[in-house]
Every structure is written in structure tokens, then in C-alpha cells.
Amino acid sequence: MIEDLTPGIVLAVLGITLYKILELYARRKERLNLIEKLSESNPDLKLDLSFKSGNMFSSLKIGLLLVGVGIGCLVGIILQTTCTDSLSLQFDKFGDGVRCNISSLVGTMYFASIATFGGIGLVIAYLIEKKDKQKD
């Protein structure tokens, strides 16, 4: 049943994500135009419109998150290979309910390992950022 809903859920999430990203760029451009009009109407107002990132650790966070997700995928593949190879000789003897449970368990192992290692990557990024802020 959930297999029938998966493509729709994935497309909905991708569509919403793409819409939000485009909306962010449109809002930024709109705000910059508003600031430029404000500075033209008031010449005494000095505004620095250069883009300065307030969070210089965003690339570190994204990078460590992706490394964690990659390690999680690798661990998931290793777990799946280990679990299913040990059961492959006995897999045909199991009933359909047991096969379905084993398949869902493997999917759960994939998701759990990806989420765990992705979270570990974000925690490491947080610790690095905290250490750098304490140094300053």
C-alpha cells in the first residue's frame, strides 16, 4: 500500500522544495530592489549592498551532512548484504509475511543508518562551529 503512495510523496516533496528555493531568490531580489529605491529617494542614506554571508559554516554543515549520508548508505548496503546473504539459503522456505517483514526491516536499516550518520555529521559540524566561535 505504501509503495503505491511513494512516487506521489516524493514528487510532492521535490516540488515544494523547488518552489521554496525559487521563492527565496525572488524575495531576495525584491528586497534588494526595495533597498535601492529607498537609497535613491534618500541620498544621505549610505547602504552597503554587498552580500555577506552571516553563516560561514553553511558549507561545512552541508558537506558533513552529505558525508554522513554517504557513510549511512554504505553502512546500509553492508547491513543488507550481511543480513540477506546469511538468510538467502533459507529465504525460499519463509512465507510471504516473513519475506515482507525482512524486506521492510532492510528498508528500515537503510533509513536508520542514513539518518544516524547524517545526524552525526551535523553534530560534528556544530562542535567545529562552537569551537571556532569560542576561539574568537
Average pLDDT of the residues in 47-58: 62
Highest mean pLDDT among 27-31, 66-70, 132-136: 66-70
| pTM of the entire predicted model | 0.53
- Residue 125 grid coordinates: 559540524
- Residue 7 grid coordinates: 512516487
Report the pLDDT value the prediction gives residue 41, as an integer from 0 to 100. Answer: 76
The helix (run of H) or strand (run of E) holding residue 94 is none
- Residue 34 grid coordinates: 526595495
* pLDDT(49) > 60: no
> How far apart are the C-alpha atoms of 136 and 100, rounded to whole Å?
54
What's the chain's length in residues? Answer: 136
